[in-house]
Amino acid sequence: MDEAVRSADPSCPDCGGRVQVPADAEVGEVVECLQCAAPLELVATRPLTLVPFDEEEK
């Protein structure tokens, strides 16, 4: 497994697919679901929490 990726990758809140979150990711970063390509915002690191990214809210 790539050391740059956290060992416990969270699931996509949209499709349940796997989402890789880099080990150095910070709150506010946007990652992409590997299955449905949905943009997801990292809102907490402990526990890893992702929510659908809404660009209009930013």
Tell me how far apart the alpha carbons of residues 7 and 47 are, in angstroms, rounded to a whole number. Answer: 13
pLDDT at residue 55, as a whole number: 80
CA–CA distance from 33 to each of 2, 29, 48 (Å)?
A: 17, 13, 14
pLDDT tens for each residue of 7-57: 567 899 999 999 999 999 999 999 999 999 999 999 998 889 999 998 876
Q: Which domains does the chain have, with CATH numbers?
A: 1-58 (2.20.28.160)
